[in-house]
Amino acid sequence: MGDFVMKVAVIGGGSTYTPELTQGIVSRGSALGISELVLQDISPQRLEVVGSFAKRICSAGGWSGKLTCTQDLDAALADASFCLVQLRVGGLAARLKDETIPHAFGILGQETTGPGGFAKALRTVPVVLDIAERFGKLGTRDGWLVDFTNPVAIVTQALCDRGHRAVGLCNVPIGLQREVADAFGIDPRRVELESVGLNHASWFTNVYVDGISVTEELLAKHADRVSEETGWSEADIRRAGAIPSYYQAFYHHPEEIFAEQLNNGVRAQEVMDTESELLELYSDPQLTEIPELLSERGGAWYSEAALEVVEALGSEQGRNLVVNIANGEAFANLRDDLVVECTCHVDTNGATPLGAMPLTPQQHSLVDALDRYQTLTIDAAVSGDRSIALEALAANPLVPSSEVAEPLLNAILEANQEHLPAFFAGI
């Protein structure tokens, strides 16, 4: 990679994911050319705990690079070649609201889809766009912003619409890749996925090992693992003609998931409990290795996915990865500037979508509906216009009607007022 990668800035560096990312950089940083890692966060408490743990990981691993922690966003971005965005506006307290407020309206709660994803998008899009603007001015001229912040589809669309050098990243594809590799007992780098659709509304139309499709063999020999990974039965997967991402379950059987949430609670509460335990573990001055508990936090393989993208973007040879980028000419029945989650060749020129099977009519119907919803949501997040926000929420496939959307919107705005200044300007 030469000197392409020098400084990497992690925005939201107080995340409990950060030690795993740090460990990945320690093990691969020299090969990647990373000489400086900066962790930025608005919380001094989290930055102290996570940052100190990250420094111990660097020391124990013998990394020769420089690690710094700061609350200063501009200082973090200055001269950075990569900006990794992994923040959560409002923290997990906001996620808990996202996943519980919809219940009062008979709708499942989830942080990236449905009303919960809408609420998160309103809070997140303006913040990430501001970071991107600053990075464009302060970072290196050929720098890249890699977004892991949900909802990735909407955030990456907003970034690409405004011409930022950005790609969106999700751990679902690498998770499936690792599951396939484990099922066949092979090196994950031999496994390649063919993906179509949008982030959290995508389908894997083919799974390859050494360039040869093993999709039928996978379903024949490991249907139970595929079902567990996706939440779909083997019969439903075969009817769909593709392996759906896990999040497709929210559109496929929402009533079942809603009932399960009412009975068992939402994921946010579990994550809050896990986070609390992790931060307590991270505070141990003797701890230098990632605790097993982190695997229960979710986001498995995020750090590996992030470093694969960093490596590919700094390589002239590059490699094929599933990322989120503008469609271009990859799928003729989708608009050119729609951000899709698809297999791309990623190298120093960026991410170039590769051709794949066209979307089926059923797949296209969901993508079209989500495209309209996402476009309106971005407009609402940036403008603070309540009428556009209402139209956007009513367009969400999981919201049954505009009659439900109006009181639901009021509840969302009221609960998130401190994080939505555009909607409350002048009040």
- Active-site annotation holds for 247: yes
Asked whether 97 and 415 are in contact (CB, 8 A), the reply is: yes
The one-letter code for the residue type at 169 is L
Rounded Cα distance, 149 and 157, in Å: 12
* Residue tagged active-site, from 208, 246, 247, 373: 247
Reported as half-sphere exposure (CB side, CA atoms, 13 A), residue 317 has a value of 3
Angle between the N-to-C axes of helices 386-395 and 114-138, in degrees from 0 to 180, rounded to the nearest 10: 120
> How do strand 82-85 and strand 66-70 relate by DSSP bridges?
unpaired
> Vertex 299, ends 281 and 151: CA angle to 5°?
125
Q: Render the burial of 318-332: b for 16+ CB within 10 Å, e for the rest.
A: bebbbbbbbbbebbe
Q: Kindly state the tokens that stand for 159.
A: 């970034």
In sequence order, the β-bridge partners of residue 82 are 8, 144
Q: Which residues are catalytic?
A: 247
